[in-house]
Structures are given as C-alpha cells and as structure tokens.
Chains A and B, each alone.
Chain A
Amino acid sequence: MNGNKTQKLNYMKHKSKFLLFAIFTLLYGSASAFCGFYVAQAGASVFNNKSEVIIVRDGTKQTITMLNDFKGDLKKFAMVIPVPVVLKRNDIRVMEQSLFGTFDNYSAPRMVEYFDQNPCQKWDYESDMYENLKASSRSSMEDKASSVYKREKVTIEAQYTVEEYEIVILSATESGGLEEWLKSNGYAIPENANEVLQPYIKDKMKFFAVKINLEKARQMNRQYLRPIQITFNTPKFMLPIRLGMANSNGEQDLIIYCFTKTGRVEAANYRTIEIPSAKKIPTFVQQNFVQFYKDVFDKNYEKEGKNAVFVEYAWNVSPNWGVKCDPCTGNPPIVQDLINAGVGWIDAQQSYTGNVFFTRLHVRYSREKFPEDLTFIETPNNATYQVRQIITHPATGDFQCKEGITYLQDLRTRRRLELQEMQAMAGWDSDEYPFYVELGDGTKVPVEKEDGQNRNSFPVWFHGNGAPPSWLLPVFLLIAASTIYLIRKWKWRNPISTELR
C-alpha cells in the first residue's frame, strides 16, 4: 500500500467516526435534496504504471500538462513527446504536482453513504457540504539562450532550461538520425522506436525531448518529477500514445483531465463508455473501496474488449456554477487551479459566465488494442456524470413495531441484492459474505428506494465477462432480412393466384 492510499484510508476512517456520531440526526432518503456523504474514493494513485495528463482545449489552442509516475533514478529520466509545432520558451512551464492532486481528488470515483431511518422513530436533517480552499502557486521559469545546429539529419529547433528540466525541440528528416541523436545524448530509446518515430517525422511533427538538469534539481532539492506544461495551437485534438508503446506490450493506465468551453470530451476513434454508477453495494465495501474500484475497472476493461475509453467524471466546474459534484470527494478546483492548468478563458475576478467543462477519462492501453493515437472530440454534451457507488447503513434502535419487522425483512432482501451487485460489478464472490445477509454487522434496517436514475433508458444486456457479444449484430441483421423475405413470399403467392384465377 503506498503512502497516498494509506492517507486516503485514514481519512476515510476518520470520516466514518464522524458519521457514526451523525447517525442520530439523519433522515433517510431525501435523495432530491441531499445525496449522502462521500466516504471513500479511488483516485489515480491506485493504478500502477500510469501517467496523468491535463488537457485544456480552447478552439485550436491546447495546453497539455503531463505528470509521469517515473520512479527510478532522476538521472535516468528522459521523455520524448511528438508535438505539432516548435514551442516557444513561454509555451513551456513547470507546474506543481499538487495541481494533479486537486483534480484527481475532486473527480475520483467515489462512494457515498445513506442512513436508513428507523421506521419506529422520526427525525429531520439538512446539510450543506461545500467548502473552498487554497490555491496552488504557479512556478516561475528561467531559460537559456536557444541554439540551433545540425547533426545526423536532426535539427535542434530550440533548446531551453526551464527550472530543473533541460528541454530540446527537435525536427528530423529521417528516423535513424533522430534515434541516433537521442541515444548519443543520453535519451534511452527503446529498440524498435524507429518504426514509431518515422510516421511522426513524416507527419512533420517536432519532438519535445526532456531531461533533468541534475545540478538544478540538486539546488532546488527536487526528489520527484514536477509536471511539465506546454501550450500550442493545433487543429488536431489528440494525444500521442504510440511512442510510449514502442517497446512495451504491457498495459498502461492514463488518466486524462480535460477542460473545455462547450462540454464533454469523448474519443473519436475508440468507444467512450461510462463506468457503472449509482449502484447499491454492501456496507463492508467501505473498508476496501480502493480495491473494489480497481476490480470494477478491471472488469469493465475486460468486458469492453480492452479497447474502450472510460468516463469517470463529467461536470461543469466553472467558478460561477453551483453544484459541481454530488457529493464532492475533494475541494472543488478554485479559479487559480483552473488558470494554472491553462484554462485561459476565466479570470481571477470570476467575471466569466460561461462553462469550464471538466471531463475525466481513464484509458488502459496496450499496443495490440490501441493501434492508433487517441483523438478526441469536444462535444456540446453537458450531461453531468460521476462514478458514485452507494452504501446504505441500516437504521439502529428498537424495531418493536409492525413497520420495524417489515423493515428487517426488507433489509435482508436488499442486502442480498447488494451482494449480487457487488459480484456483478467487481467479481467479488458473494458467497464469502453470508454474515452480511444475516445482518452480521448490525441489527438495523432500510427500505429500498428507487434511485430515479436511468429510468428511461433501455436496459443494456449482457453484464457478463468478455467483450460485447458482437455476433449478435449478424444475428439481428439475419432476423431482419429473413422477416422481410418471408413477408415478401407470402405477399407473392396471393396476388398471383388471384390474378390467374
């Protein structure tokens, strides 16, 4: 368990103590006014081998902030990213890691808890849970005069020192030369990077190569990598993931935090799918929600054929917009966070009245299943969404009334359903938790209430394992064709026979 995770779990425990205290002032089920407490979350830190990216898109202007989970010796860190243009010095910044923490905490999959009311008692409850907090500071930047020279069909278009990073922007006419240049300058390039570099070179892309300036890093006492931010103009709304897969058949996780003016961002060349949300799961999942979400994600990843992009959060987070999550797992990003991320269309005076739409996407990609770089669409879809699972604590006290007995019966039924839901979502074996249905962790109760969500939707079939059953498409088409064919035959017979008669 890493540090972050421990912290989150500690926080969770602390929170649940408070909630135990709060039990007696809660009224069950006023879902329209208040949707429960946030009690746990599964943030980006849960996934190994992952990177995080913030993309801000405003017309053709794009700001990308990249956070790498590089864990080795800083000396060995090197990163090469294809970019469409030669970046100017002012287009490169070094940000603080806390920026990612803010967005991650805020948009992470979450769990909420409800409390049943004892049917033999009555209370009232009201709450407001929105708070605001601190800004992260923007880092300053220094530079070094850029120089241009030629070697091995590689042109150094620009060279900067930005804080602890040494940055070189290269263009090349031939991949062999570029590979050689990178290798001789200390960039560890995978063996078969050549075949991936070549298409980018042909596409007139430039290469943004980053290394650590060890001396600066030592002076600044840096023990970890800070995110690098670049801004440029491009009609292509895409993220080059192919280079990172050059030498790897493994799976990598990528969390993308997108900010746009209009609405949700979705992938143009892969399916974009929402993770199941608003599901009622057993109360004991609270103790291990991090693992639970990880298993839910793994299961969905498998189910969708390992080549889908998942939405984990979508909401307007504009400073003047009221509710930004329900419930919130962290402090909402404040204006300064958004500006730091590159949201250039708002200002500190908060005079901007339009949208700042936040979409969190989660991709687990591999060479085999993601042959093409990710391209995106900025849609006008403003529908809000968050991954939010629900636990419902049973009521406490004495159930010596008619309703109380019914309640206890209903509770058992509900808990059986919760276990089934847990098994369907995360693959946890429900048979391992027989005590739960026997009301093993309390002597309490709730009655199921309709959640109200998705009531108008078609049910989506086949929640089992594996990819969606694609064989059903030819079956559907065959049924359609044969129905029409049979009707035709039937129509044929009648008119002829009548006319011949």
Chain B
Amino acid sequence: MQEITLPQTDARWYQIGFQSAFLLFGTLVLGWQQEWWRLVLIIATCLSVQVFFIWRGLQNLQSFRSALITALGLCLLLRTSEWWVLVLAGAVAISSKFFIKINGKHIFNPANIGIVAAIFFTGKAWISPGQWGSDTLYPISILIAGFIVCYKVKRAQTGFIFLGILFALEFAKRYLFLGWPMDLVLHRFSSGSLLVYALFMITDPMTTPNHKLARMVWATILALLTFILSARYQIYEAPVWALFLLSPFTPLFDKLFQANKFEWKQNTKVKLYETQK
C-alpha cells in the first residue's frame, strides 16, 4: 500500500478569483470611480504587512492568499478620499491577525476590523451600500459564487443562515407587519454589498466558531444584531458593526462547543492499494 498526496485547490483561490471579478465589474461596468492607485495601495499595504510577519516567522508563505482576500474585501467595501486611511485600514486589518489572538486564533475578521478602524477612528471613510444598484442578476451571481467558496470551506450554513434569518426578519417587518409590497423587501435584499459581505466576509473560517452548531447559533445572533442595529438605530453599515461586536465572543462559542480549529488544507492524503500481480 502506498500513500500519495493529491493537491487540492485552496478555496482561497476561488475567493480571490471571485472577489477580483466583483472588483473588476464594479470598477469597469458600474463605474465605482476607484482610482487605480487606491486599489494598488490597499493591496500593497496588506501584502507588505503580511510579508513582514512572514519574515518574522509568524506565518507561512501560503498566508499571503489570506492577505490578498482581506485587501480585496477592503477594495470592495471601503470608500475614502484620503490615501492614508487606506494604508491605516490595510495595516490594522493584517496586523490584527497577529496581535489580537486568543488560543492561537485571531478574534476579528481582518477586513472587518480594518473597515471599523477606518470609519471609527478617522471619520474619513464610509461604505456605499447602494453602489451595486439593483438588478436580479447580481444577487443570483453573488449567491452562486458565494456558495461555491463557502461550500469548499464548509461554511455555507453560516452565510446562508445569516442571510436567511435577516431576510425572514425584514420580510416579517416590512411585508407582514408594515404591509409594504414584496418588491420593496426584494429591493432591500438585492444590495450587492450586503450579499458580498455575508458570503465573502463573515464566512471566513478562521474567525467563525469551530463547531458547526456553534456557527449556526453565531450566525443567527449576527443576523438579529444586524437587524436591530439597522431597524432600531438606523445604522446603514449595520452588518459591519454587528460582526465587530460579535467577534470578541467567538472564543466563548469555541469553549462551549469544542471542535478542531480550521486549517487551510493544502493536500489530501489518498491511499493506493497495490494490485496483486
């Protein structure tokens, strides 16, 4: 019997591919008016901070993929007119992975904390939730792409439970209670920013609870929190704040529901049985 190694595609490559496609589409077709140097600056900041930590021996070489995902996430969501805010967001995002850790697992989703830092500390950044506009093809495409990535890292439930519960709450409030027509509810949910956020950011396997059941509870709480922040306090960037507020409690979920920490799989071991001659 012989054991060989089948290289598996790291799901992060798909995520990088899809996020780049979103960015390309947003910039070229929707005219988000991002100047090219802004995108380069975010990506360069994230990668160089990551390289610094790789050089210090705190991470392996493969980890630059995660840094690229974070950078693309920032490019997709964060808006600012100041270059230094971009640098700050990128630097905070990546270094939070190395400085804010419990039991070897970083607490905050890097892109999330980068956005929070930029909005909260500088007051010079914002998010444009309306930047996608509404078109039926956007939600469908984003959902399919998101499902592929989430499925590969076994985080599909997290994203879809979050979206499902948020939709149920909005449906209950707007359609059942207030009595708005259904197209209003659908319009609220066709926001590309929300879907990209739900399926490409909160589903990060490194910052969600390790146990499957814990993740389901976690996603439910996140959806409730998002709903309360947006409906009660009229905070338009509610999902960002909800994730930021819930993240510190992730270790608690890991304590209550024991499971192995997620590792990015590089290869799969396959046993080959030699045929008798």
Contact of A477 among B9, B18, B33, B179 (CB under 8 A): B18
For the complex, give the distance between the alpha carbons of A414 and B123 in Å.
44
Contact of B81 among A199, A381, A462, A483 (CB under 8 A): A381
Q: Is the CB of A268 within 8 A of B129?
A: yes
For the complex, give the distance between the alpha carbons of A495 and B4 in Å.
9
Contact of A305 among B7, B133, B186 (CB under 8 A): B133
Q: Is the CB of B137 within 8 A of A473?
A: yes
Q: Does A18 contact B (CB under 8 A)?
A: no
Residues 1-32 of chain B, each 1 if its beta carbon lies under 8 Å from chain A, else 0: 00011110100011001101110110111110
Q: Does B53 contact A (CB under 8 A)?
A: no
For the complex, give the distance between the alpha carbons of A195 and B233 in Å.
26
Closest to B85 in A: A380
Whole-angstrom distance from the CB of B127 to the nearest CB of chain A?
8
- Chain A residues with a Cβ closer than 8 Å to the other chain, count: 63
Closest to B127 in A: A377
For the complex, give the distance between the alpha carbons of A273 and B183 in Å.
23
> Which chain B positions have C-beta within 8 A of A14?
none
For the complex, give the distance between the alpha carbons of A467 and B132 in Å.
12
Closest to B192 in A: A473
Most B C-beta atoms less than 10 A away, residue of A235, A457, A458, A467 = A458
Q: Does B84 contact A (CB under 8 A)?
A: no
Closest to B3 in A: A499
> Which chain B positions have C-beta within 8 A of A474?
137, 140-141
Q: Does B187 contact A (CB under 8 A)?
A: yes
Contact of A372 among B25, B31, B36, B187 (CB under 8 A): B187
Q: Does A488 contact B (CB under 8 A)?
A: yes
Bin chain B's interface residue count. Answer: 35 or more
For the complex, give the distance between the alpha carbons of A163 and B148 in Å.
64
Q: Does A90 contact B (CB under 8 A)?
A: no
Residues 175-191 of chain B, each 1 if its beta carbon lies under 8 Å from chain A, else 0: 00111110110111001
List B residues 118-138 near A (Cβ within 8 Å).
123-126, 128-135, 137-138
For the complex, give the distance between the alpha carbons of A476 and B145 in Å.
11
Residues 127-171 of chain B, each 1 if its beta carbon lies under 8 Å from chain A, else 0: 011111111011011001100100000000000000000000000
Closest to B140 in A: A474
Task: Decide: A377 near B31, CB < 8 A? Known: A382-B81, A480-B17, A481-B18.
Answer: no
Q: Is the CB of B28 within 8 A of A458?
A: yes
Task: Decide: A473 near B25, CB < 8 A? Known: A199-B180, A267-B130, A305-B133.
Answer: yes
Task: Decide: A307 near B134, CB < 8 A? Known: A380-B126, A473-B21.
Answer: yes
For the complex, give the distance between the alpha carbons of A501 and B135 in Å.
53
Contact of A272 among B81, B130, B177, B180 (CB under 8 A): B130
Task: Decide: A381 near B21, CB < 8 A? Known: A371-B187, A484-B14.
Answer: no
Q: Is the CB of B4 within 8 A of A476?
A: no
> Which chain A positions have C-beta within 8 A of B187?
269, 371-372
Contact of B21 among A262, A274, A480, A492 (CB under 8 A): A480
Q: Does B234 contact A (CB under 8 A)?
A: yes
> Which chain A positions have C-beta within 8 A of B191?
269
For the complex, give the distance between the alpha carbons of A461 and B233 in Å.
38
Q: Does A351 contact B (CB under 8 A)?
A: no
Q: Is the CB of A470 within 8 A of B137?
A: yes
Closest to B11 in A: A484
Q: Does B37 contact A (CB under 8 A)?
A: yes
Q: Does A181 contact B (CB under 8 A)?
A: no
Q: Does A468 contact B (CB under 8 A)?
A: yes
Q: Is the CB of B234 within 8 A of A237?
A: yes
> Which chain A positions have C-beta within 8 A of B181?
195, 371
> Which chain A positions have C-beta within 8 A of B30?
271, 468
Task: Decide: A481 near B17, CB < 8 A? Known: A237-B234, A270-B133.
Answer: yes
Task: Decide: A500 near B4, CB < 8 A? Known: A203-B178, A381-B81.
Answer: yes
Whole-angstrom distance from the CB of A276 to the nearest CB of chain B?
10
Contact of A467 among B128, B135, B141 (CB under 8 A): B135
Q: Does A418 contact B (CB under 8 A)?
A: no
> Which chain B positions have C-beta within 8 A of A457?
33, 35-36
Q: Is the CB of B31 within 8 A of A460?
A: yes
Q: Does A465 contact B (CB under 8 A)?
A: no
For the complex, give the distance between the alpha carbons of A159 and B141 in Å.
52
> Which chain B positions have C-beta within 8 A of A268?
129-130, 236
List A residues 25-42 near B (Cβ within 8 Å).
none
Residues 190-210 of chain A, each 1 if its beta carbon lies under 8 Å from chain B, else 0: 000001001100110000000
Q: Is the CB of A476 within 8 A of B7?
A: no
Q: Is the CB of A195 within 8 A of B133?
A: no
Q: Is the CB of B138 within 8 A of A473?
A: yes
Q: Does B48 contact A (CB under 8 A)?
A: no
Q: Does B63 contact A (CB under 8 A)?
A: no
Q: Does A469 contact B (CB under 8 A)?
A: yes
Contact of B179 among A202, A267, A468, A480 (CB under 8 A): A202
Q: Is the CB of B34 within 8 A of A458?
A: yes
> Which chain A positions have C-beta within 8 A of B80?
380
Contact of A235 among B20, B129, B188, B234 (CB under 8 A): B234
Q: Is the CB of A198 within 8 A of B131?
A: no
Q: Which 10 A-B pairs have the closest CB atoms?
A: A480-B17, A476-B21, A271-B133, A460-B31, A199-B178, A235-B234, A488-B9, A456-B35, A379-B126, A470-B135
Q: List 23 A-B contacts (CB under 8 A).
A: A199-B178, A269-B130, A269-B191, A271-B130, A272-B130, A272-B131, A274-B33, A371-B181, A371-B183, A457-B35, A458-B36, A460-B28, A472-B29, A476-B21, A476-B22, A476-B25, A477-B21, A481-B17, A488-B7, A488-B9, A491-B7, A495-B7, A500-B4
| Interface residues, chain B, with chain A CB atoms under 8 Å away | 4-7, 9, 13-14, 17-18, 20-22, 24-25, 27-31, 33-37, 79-81, 123-126, 128-135, 137-138, 140-141, 144-145, 148, 174, 177-181, 183-184, 186-188, 191, 233-234, 236
